[in-house]
Structure 1
Amino acid sequence: MSGETIIHSVLLFDGESIHPNATVTFDRDTGKVTSVRTEPTGDVAHPPSATVIDGRGHTLLPGLIESHIHVHQMHMPPGVTAPDPIQSPLKCGITTVCDMHCDPAVVKNLRARIADDIAEARKTGGTVNLSDLKSSLYAATIAGGWPKSIVLSHNPSEELKAFVDTWPSLTVENAKDFVQQHKAEGANYIKLMQENHCALILPTNSIPVATLELQTAVVNAAHQHGLRAAGHAFSVDMTEIVLKSGADGLTHTFFDQAPPQSTIDHYKEHNAFVIPTLGLIASVTKEHQDYRDTFADIAAAKGLLDEFSVKTLRETVGAASPEARFEYAIDSVRKLKAQGIDVLAGTDSAVGLQGLGLGPGLWLELQLYVDKCGFSATDALRSATSVQARRLDFVDRGLVAEGKRADLLLVKGNVTEDSSCLWKGDGVVGVWKEGIKAS
């Protein structure tokens, strides 16, 4: 039996441009796109052994990339079984998830499962169930620093305290060794942590805070090893430290104050990207409950999340300082976009983290970009495909092009004009990872 699939007469969004009548051919045996034709082909005789799909009335696009999740289970209540962190995203068309701080042993186990999932599907002619996983492994944490406080607020058990104490303790002196070891263990990029609680209800500077000297040492080491570096920060002052360190981007936007022009200028000066995580910020500030309820309803109706995760998606973190505002985050994204700063779609989702859901949370994020930040539907799709791949150096994906991974998503309707086609009605009707259909 041929491993070739042909989707013809389809509206193609290739990650950058729109083609109204395209034919895309890909192969599950090689996992690659083998042909992209963007001119009408008329009646063409397809190989009888190929799987042929009439794409009329549908949009074909690259598999979505979710640039900020966590695959750990540290937000789970004691005694509750955690759902699979890399299964529900694939059902939503997310073929790659990017973990931003996790125990390397957990990542290694998940990657082994992903490899087995692909191998079994190729061997049996079956389907795949799991998204691909990129990871920073452990972030460049410092002794007693972020995210110790937020993790222990969920579960201050002695066992978890002991585990958190095993995290890396970065110094200027050991930064090079940390990066070298992480690259050897399979890190795809390096994550910085720059947090002083300024935007949060916790007392400002009540935890140790990384210095600019340290962050610069980590970023320089990352770049010397060919790795991108991106940093957590919730406030303007912490954001500017990450930018001044030379990091490639921020894994959140700030929400402690209205965006100062100086911060926008720093983004431009360093050509940094931003992963806004607006859904998370709305959960932290307890705003826009309507979005959480809408996507929880969708997740429940389509069977995308288990009952516990649907309930969690409706809840809020509620940990903002009195001065923090969701509108500040929105203003920052509007201004950064207007200045040509690259926006990468990501959520900070993790199992058990309130206000978010692995999979549907990215749909919520994209809708916030369209509704609140002046994005077109196509802008939002670029933020979850080609822009991600370019800025995170994922050279094999994010585009529908010959030789790229056949990570693909087929959606009913024209999602380049209406992002809600992803979830309304039939929504996602087909997902392929490395050319293999997802179940």
Structure 2
Amino acid sequence: MGKLTIIKHVRVFDGETVSGPKTAVIDGSRIGDDSLADDPDPSAVTVIDGTGCTLLPGLIDCHVHIRDAAQLASCASFGVTTVLDMGCIPPEKSVELRAARGPTTWLGVNLPAYEENSRHGKLFKLFGGVTPDHAVHNTDEAAKFVQDRVDEGVDYIKIIADVPGHEQAVLDRIQAEAEKHGKLTVAHTAQYAAFERSLRAGFDVLTHVPMDKAVDETITERMREQKTVAVPTLSMMEGMTNSWVLWGISWLTLSAERNRSFEAALQSVAGMREAGVPILAGTDANNSGIMTIAAGKSLHHELELLVRAGSTALEALRAATSLAAHHFSLQDRGRVAPGWRADLVLVGGKPDEDITVTQQILRVWSAGEEVPVTAVTRETGCAVM
């Protein structure tokens, strides 16, 4: 038995449903059985009165770009105890982040597969210190790209599927090689055409949603049939449509993206939800200076946007906990159940009824260790007894 923390009279969202008020137990780094709360040694136990509060699994952001270990550590203060990084620039940064031993777990891809003359290719070269040698130019290089990432120990494979970009044969080869190695594939899809290309390739997860045209039943039904997962990153889509800088650049370059529509993004999410496509919470948090989205804090806004797009509050909570853990094969987190990792967030209210309550963070634990909270939004809270 480890150090015990007992939370009494608390509502519990276990990753699926809400129950209680009841007692929850943290036993060392894991969630303990409720029976451990019976007649414990008072000198070895912390007891918290959870009246009026709800206990959640630690939140998971399924799309981030973390700058450094300090930024990674700060995520936990907002209840985000796991992040899935979708590309490190420069690639060497991933070594530091993977080795970080802070309260937020980092998983990542190192470098995504991109075409040298694509928009991402030009941005990587201009701002990221990435050379053309890193780009994927043909199907042979596609196979080498996947092997290199596997050798580096990445957690999944990321591909830029927007156009202009790779030929379809290259996308298809990346998926085939990833399957050989048992690696999940995540495709950047911010255009309708990118969704079509990615579904032809058979990618597992599509991140972003198009703003040039909402996905229709042809797309959503194929996603359902292929068991494709969506990470809409509505926070980024909203930011892009509201950015005067990007709007100006698009008009000056006569880019088709000058017709971005956030409503199309919301409609895409609504259509995917109606079709039964799994939807996960991800923000595209980054510190680029071009379209900065604050890591940790932004996930709470993402949950609001998912609800705005038609999800229920419970569905939004699942998108950032149990569903995220399930689809990225994180077997030890995302739920509140005995034996699971004690990544937990205590909030002051009922987030299953009002999703904004996730912002009323009172306490956070990472592997059973309490994390200093800077995201508290109300003065009253649960008390140590």
Return the TM-score normalized by structure 2. 0.87
**For the structure 1 residues 378 and 36, does the alpha-carbon distance in structure 2 shift closer, same or farther, using more than 3 Å as the test?**
farther
Tell me which residue corresponds to 1:175.
Answer: 142
Counterpart AA for 1:35: D
Indicate how the Cα distance of structure 1 residues 36 and 213 shifts in structure 2: closer, same or farther if over 3 A, else same. Answer: farther
Pair 1:132 & 2:105 matched: yes
Paired position in structure 2 for 1:379: 315
1:328 to 264, 277, 295: 264
In structure 2, the residue matched to 1:69 is: 64
Report the Cα offset of residue 167 of structure 1: 2.6
Q: What's the secondary structure of 1:53's corresponding residue?
A: strand
What is the aligned partner in structure 2 of residue 148 from structure 1? 121
Match of 1:92 among 68, 78, 86: 78
Cα RMSD of the aligned pairs, angstroms, is 2.4
Alpha-carbon distance in 2 for matches of 1:27, 1:164: 48
2:254 maps to none
**1:104 Cα deviation after fit:** 4.2
1:6 Cα deviation after fit: 1.8
The percent identity for this pair of structures is 31
AA partner of residue 71 (structure 2) = P
Partner of 2:168: 212
1:327-348 CA-to-partner distances (Å, cap 9, x unmatched) read 1111110011011111110111
Q: Distance in 2 between matches of 1:17 and 1:210?
A: 42
Q: Corresponding residue for 1:434?
A: 367
1:368 and 1:409 map into 2 onto residues whose CA distance is 20
Q: Which amino acid aligns with 1:33?
A: I
Select 1:366's aligned residue among 303, 321, 325. 303
Q: Which residue of 2 aligns with 1:12?
A: 12
Pick one of 353, 358, 376 that aligns with 1:417: 353
State the partner residue of 2:325: 389
Distance in structure 2 (CA, Å) of the matches to 1:239 and 1:337: 16
2:124/2:130 contact within 8 Å kept: no
Letter in 1 for 2:358: L
- State the shift of 1:177 in Å: 3.4
Q: Residue 283 of structure 2 aligns to a residue in which SS?
A: coil
Aligned partner of 1:181: which letter? D
Gaps of 5+ in 2: 251-256, 373-385
**1:88 Cα deviation from its structure 2 partner:** 2.9
1:283 corresponds, among 239, 262, 265, to 239
Q: Per-residue CA shift, 1:47-87, capped at 9, x if unaligned?
A: 321222221111101000000011248xxxxxxxxx93313
Is the CA contact (8 Å cut-off) linking 1:279 and 1:355 kept in structure 2?
no
Cα distance, 1:175 vs structure 2: 3.0
1:354 maps to which residue?
A: 291
In structure 2, the residue matched to 1:226 is: 182
2:276 matched residue in structure 1? 340
Cα pair 1:69 1:350 within 8 Å, conserved: yes
Q: TM-score, normalised by structure 1?
A: 0.77
Give per-residue Cα distances to partners, 1:12-44, cap 9 Å, x unaligned: 00111211223222233xx2222257xxx9x94
Aligned residues: 362
Distance 1:162 1:87, change over 3 A: closer
**Structure 1 unaligned regions, length at least 5:** 74-82, 118-129, 197-204, 288-314
Residue 405 of structure 1: aligned partner: 341
SS at match of 2:140: coil
Q: Contact 2:208–2:232 at 8 Å: present in 1 too?
A: yes
When structure 1 is superposed on structure 2, of 250-259 and 170-179 the one drifting more is 170-179
2:175 and 2:185 in contact (8 A); partners too? yes
Using the TM superposition, name which of 392-401 and 329-338 deviates more: 392-401
2:114–2:121 CA contact under 8 A, matched in 1: no
Query: Could you say what secondary structure the match of 1:87 adopts?
Result: helix
Contact 2:146 2:178 in 1 (8 A): yes
Question: Which moved further from structure 2: 379-388 or 349-358?
Answer: 349-358
The equivalences for 1:267-282 within 5 A come to: 267-282=223-238
Where does residue 32 of structure 1 map in the other structure?
30
1:161, distance to aligned residue in structure 2 (A): 6.7
Match 1:45 to one of 35, 39, 42: 39
Q: SS at 1:56's partner residue?
A: coil
Asked if the contact 2:236–2:283 (Cα under 8 Å) also holds between the matched residues in 1, the reply is: yes
Distance verdict in 2 for CA 1:12–1:317, change over 3 Å? farther
